[in-house]
Amino acid sequence: MEMRALIVEDEDLASDLLLNILQNQQIIEFYEIRRADSFESAAGILANFIPDVIFLDIQLGDGTGFDLLDTMQPPAPVVFLTAHEEYALKAHSYNALGYITKPFDRGSIYKLLTKIGARQKSAARTQRRFLVSEGSKMLSLKESEIAYFYAEGKNLFIHSISGDTYLYGSTLGKVAESLDPRLFFKINRNVCLNIEAVSEVHRYSGQRLCVVAVPPFPQEEMGIVAKASLADFKHWLNH
Lowest mean pLDDT among 46-50, 70-74, 107-111, 141-145: 70-74
Range 84-93 burial, b when 16+ CB lie within 10 A, else e:
eeebeeebee
Q: Which amino acid is at 209?
A: L
Q: Say which residues have a Cβ less than 8 Å from residue 198's Cβ, sequence separation at least 6.
A: 211, 212, 213, 237
What mean pLDDT is predicted for residues 37-50?
88
Q: For residue 119, name the pLDDT band (cuts at 50, 70, 90).
A: confident
The predicted structure's pLDDT at residue 37: 96
Q: For residue 76, name the pLDDT band (cuts at 50, 70, 90).
A: confident
Q: Are 81 and 99 in contact (CB under 8 A)?
A: yes
Query: CA–CA separation, 41 vs 106, rounded Å?
Result: 27
Query: CA–CA separation, 51 vs 42, rounded Å?
Result: 11
Domains of the chain by range and CATH? 3-125 (3.40.50.2300), 141-237 (2.40.50.1020)
What mean pLDDT is predicted for residues 116-134?
75
Q: Has residue 126 got a pLDDT over 90?
A: no
Pairing of strands 146-152, 155-160: antiparallel
Q: Has residue 98 got a pLDDT over 90?
A: no
